[in-house]
């Protein structure tokens, strides 16, 4: 089945909004990029906010697929899976010249005070990121890799913030240093301190 017009608009919008933010994204530019008919936007979306919710769903679908790929790498220990995920993200950002940052973190920063539906949806997405970390950290504890005294859920919540901060910092340092510092300290000093290195 060929990609429908709505899907093309969402995909183009996700890319443009990632670079320019919610407010900086023009709807006509999105339609042009998606090769969708001029004026067709409101046929598919009630509002720009409704459109942004579809963009977030699109990112969420990608995130679910990507994390599932790492969660199911049976040949790796839980912490090695987490490390592989982070190193993969670092390489993706390196290829982009450390631009753009996280589309979800960006929109949270930009729209957290301006749209209640977007705020609530972004909050749920960041909870999903924490759930991904939580699952791996808990598995790491069961495997004896992670300090048993850590509250897996809280540490996951803490580390999602640290991860978002590292991505933001990557954008201002234009280097991978913030992610390398994240990797070293989150793993060696917090998660597996005193345990075998991953």
Residue ranges that bind a second copy, judged by CB under 8 A = 19, 21, 23-24, 99-101, 105-106, 108-110, 112-113, 119, 122-123, 126, 149-150, 154-155, 157-166, 168-169, 171-174, 178, 181-182, 184-186, 189-190, 193
In the bound state with a second copy, the residue whose beta carbon lies nearer, of 8 and 169, is 169
For the record, the structure tokens of 135 come out as: 């699952």
**Angle 116-142/152-173 helices, nearest 10 degrees?**
120
Min dist. Cβ of residue 20 to a second copy (A): 9
CA distances for 168 relative to 91, 104, 115, 173, 179, angstroms = 15, 11, 22, 9, 10
Min dist. Cβ of residue 74 to a second copy (A): 29
* CA-based max dimension of the chain: 61
Min dist. Cβ of residue 150 to a second copy (A): 6
In the bound state with a second copy, the residue whose beta carbon lies nearer, of 57 and 110, is 110
d(CA 68, CA 56): 18
d(CA 100, CA 178): 15
d(CA 120, CA 62): 19
In the bound state with a second copy, the residue whose beta carbon lies nearer, of 12 and 146, is 146
In the bound state with a second copy, the residue whose beta carbon lies nearer, of 5 and 185, is 185
Min dist. Cβ of residue 192 to a second copy (A): 12
d(CA 129, CA 101): 15
In the bound state with a second copy, the residue whose beta carbon lies nearer, of 73 and 175, is 175
């Amino acid at each position: 089945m060929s990609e429908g017009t709505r899907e093309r608009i969402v995909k183009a919008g996700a890319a443009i909004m990632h670079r320019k933010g919610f407010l900086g994204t023009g709807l006509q530019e999105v339609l042009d990029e998606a090769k969708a008919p001029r004026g067709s936007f409101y046929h598919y979306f009630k509002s720009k906010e409704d459109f942004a919710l579809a963009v977030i769903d699109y990112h969420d679908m990608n995130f679910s697929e990507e994390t599932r790929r790492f969660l199911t790498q049976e040949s790796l220990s839980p912490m090695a899976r987490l490390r592989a995920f982070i190193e993969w993200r670092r390489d993706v950002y390196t290829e982009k010249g450390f631009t753009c940052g996280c589309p979800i973190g960006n929109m949270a920063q930009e729209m957290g005070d301006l749209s209640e539906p977007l705020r609530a949806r972004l909050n749920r997405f960041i909870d999903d990121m924490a759930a991904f970390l939580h699952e791996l950290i808990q598995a790491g504890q069961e495997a004896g890799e992670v300090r048993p005294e850590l509250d897996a859920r809280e540490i996951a919540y803490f580390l999602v913030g640290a991860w978002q901060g590292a991505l933001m910092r990557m954008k201002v340092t234009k280097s991978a240093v913030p992610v390398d510092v994240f990797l070293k300290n989150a793993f060696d000093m917090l998660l597996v301190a005193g345990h075998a290195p991953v």
